[in-house]
């Protein structure tokens, strides 16, 4: 069956689910009594469990990072360009673990799961998660899989924040941290974009205070708007110009407000529409809050170098020149703190026109550097 898949694909994969009965205390002061995590693994864990790599996903990501769920799948997992035999995260060498975070909507316990206390979906009652909370839950997953120390924790964007948090929360459990297109905290502009997205969802009449599931509806319009705003910030001006320019759907202007006239309008509506049918509005709110709250240096008077003083992992930080949502300057803040703290770090600023989305795209220089770094990791 696997013959149908490309040679450098991990092929057919099946997600696994683990239940955790021990309560997880959360940053918000509440705790999750009982929860489940859905995850996939690629490659084989070696005898000493020294070859494990954790993949942390970004805002709308999930556990399905590589391979296919069925022979009919049109597309592989979201980071298939980087995970597989012979790819940067080489599954001949590494045992890769990729999960859906708590609060997600792809199989791990989240707002759309049933609240055992009420027998109804959590909805808005699901606790707000932080990057730290996720890292603690991921540590429990590692324990269950017999992984004492990760060879590497890898992530882009919000995923990069989790990789960084790992090195701070569990310094002895991470040998390498790859933080790609990430930031040590969000800027005011970034929080502002998230707030627009949240307001779009919160003010949708179908949101019902976050309990829309019980009403049998979804705040489709709000989610769609949230995604449209987000999507604009993931692309660069150049990338949009290149892809759509001022191209029109039909030959003439309609002089009205409801027609889809420009190609870019059509694209954004399609992206928003598609997203609104597969993503949970409460999860979206929760993910944007986790982004906003992330600021590990806040516990050290804002001094990131001090925050990273106890870190023992080696770092690889990469950014993309046209990424304005998580600009190279933000990555440099991480690098500067690491050099001030005298940590090992490689930093690459990849010339790429694709904006923030570049970290998902197989750009030759990016893949080459990623590959070189992963190759030097001893297992």
Partner 1 sequence: MRADLEIIQEWIPAGSRVLDLGCGNGELLAWLTEHKQVSGYGLEIDADNIAQCVSKSVNVIEQNLDKGLNNFASGSFDVVVMTQSLQALHYPDRVLAEMLRVGKTCIITFPNFAHWRCRWYLTSKGRMPVSDFLPYTWFNTPNIHFCTFEDFENLCHDQGAKIKDRLAVDRDHRHGWASRIWPNLLGEIGIYRISGATPLGAHASR
Just list the catalytic residues. 157, 323, 356
Which positions from 292 through 351 interact with partner 1, judged by CB under 8 A? 316, 332, 335-336, 339-340, 342, 344-349
User: Which among 19, 15, 46 has a CA at the least distance from the CA of 149?
Assistant: 46
User: Quick one: which H or E segment has residue 166?
Assistant: helix 158-169
| Minimum CB distance to partner 1, residue 163 (Å) | 17
| Minimum CB distance to partner 1, residue 306 (Å) | 13
Q: Which residue, 299 or 368, is less far from partner 1 as judged by CB?
A: 368
Distances (CA, A) of 201 to 61, 194, 221, 222: 19, 11, 8, 4
Q: Is 376 annotated as a binding residue?
A: no
**Angle CA 166–167–171, to nearest 5:** 110
CA distance 282 to 37: 18
| Minimum CB distance to partner 1, residue 338 (Å) | 9
Residue 114 DSSP class = B
| Minimum CB distance to partner 1, residue 350 (Å) | 9
Phi, psi of 192 (to 5 degrees): -60, -45
Q: Which residue, 177 or 345, is less far from partner 1 as judged by CB?
A: 345
User: Quick one: which H or E segment has residue 364?
Assistant: helix 364-376
Q: Which residues contact 146 (CB under 8 A, 6 or more apart)?
A: 45, 49
Q: Is 269 annotated as a binding residue?
A: no
* Residue 291 engages partner 1 in binding (rule: CB under 8 A): no
Which positions from 348 through 377 interact with partner 1, judged by CB under 8 A? 348-349, 365, 368-369, 372-373, 375-376
| Minimum CB distance to partner 1, residue 320 (Å) | 12
In contact, 131 and 295? CB cutoff 8 Å: no
Binding mask 99-128 for partner 1 (x = CB under 8 A): ------------------------------
Q: Which residue, 207 or 320, is less far from partner 1 as judged by CB?
A: 320
Distances (CA, A) of 223 to 153, 184, 278: 30, 27, 10
Q: Which residue, 237 or 351, is less far from partner 1 as judged by CB?
A: 351
Per the annotation, binding residues are 227, 357
Per the annotation, binding residues for substrate are 227, 357
| Positions that interact with partner 1 (CB under 8 A) | 316, 332, 335-336, 339-340, 342, 344-349, 365, 368-369, 372-373, 375-376
């Amino acid at each position: 069956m696997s013959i149908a898949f490309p040679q450098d694909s991990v092929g057919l994969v099946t997600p696994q689910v683990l239940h955790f009965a021990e309560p997880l205390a959360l940053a918000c002061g509440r705790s999750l009594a009982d929860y489940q995590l859905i995850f996939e693994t690629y490659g084989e864990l070696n005898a000493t469990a020294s070859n494990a790599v954790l993949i942390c996903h970004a805002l709308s990501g999930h556990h399905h990072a590589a391979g296919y769920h069925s022979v009919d799948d049109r597309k592989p997992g979201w980071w298939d360009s980087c995970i597989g035999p012979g790819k940067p995260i080489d599954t001949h060498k590494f045992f890769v673990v990729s999960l859906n975070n708590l609060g997600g909507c792809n199989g791990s316990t989240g707002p759309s799961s049933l609240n055992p206390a009420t027998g109804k979906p959590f909805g808005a009652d699901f606790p707000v998660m932080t990057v730290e909370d996720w890292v603690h839950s991921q540590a429990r997953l590692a324990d269950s899989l017999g992984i004492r120390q990760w060879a590497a924790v890898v992530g882009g964007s919000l995923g990069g924040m989790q990789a960084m948090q790992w090195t701070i929360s569990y310094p002895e459990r991470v040998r390498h941290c790859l933080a790609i297109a990430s930031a040590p905290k969000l800027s005011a502009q970034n929080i502002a974009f998230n707030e627009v997205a949240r307001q779009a969802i919160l003010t949708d009449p179908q949101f019902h205070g976050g309990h829309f599931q019980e009403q049998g509806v979804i705040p489709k319009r709000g989610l769609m708007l949230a995604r449209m705003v987000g999507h604009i910030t993931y692309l660069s001006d150049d990338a949009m110009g290149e892809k759509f320019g001022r191209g029109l759907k039909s030959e003439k202007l309609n002089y009205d407000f409801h027609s889809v006239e420009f190609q870019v309008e059509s694209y954004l509506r399609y992206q928003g529409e598609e997203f609104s049918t597969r993503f949970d509005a409460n999860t979206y709110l929760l993910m944007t809050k986790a982004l906003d709250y992330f600021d590990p240096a806040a516990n050290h008077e804002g001094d990131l170098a001090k925050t990273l003083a106890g870190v023992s992992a080696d770092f690889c930080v990469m950014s993309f020149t046209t990424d304005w949502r998580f600009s190279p300057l933000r990555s440099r803040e991480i690098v500067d703190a690491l050099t001030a703290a005298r940590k090992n770090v490689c930093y690459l600023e990849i010339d790429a026109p694709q904006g923030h989305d570049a970290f998902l795209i197989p750009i030759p220089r990016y893949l080459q550097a990623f590959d070189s770094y992963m190759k030097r990791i001893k297992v």
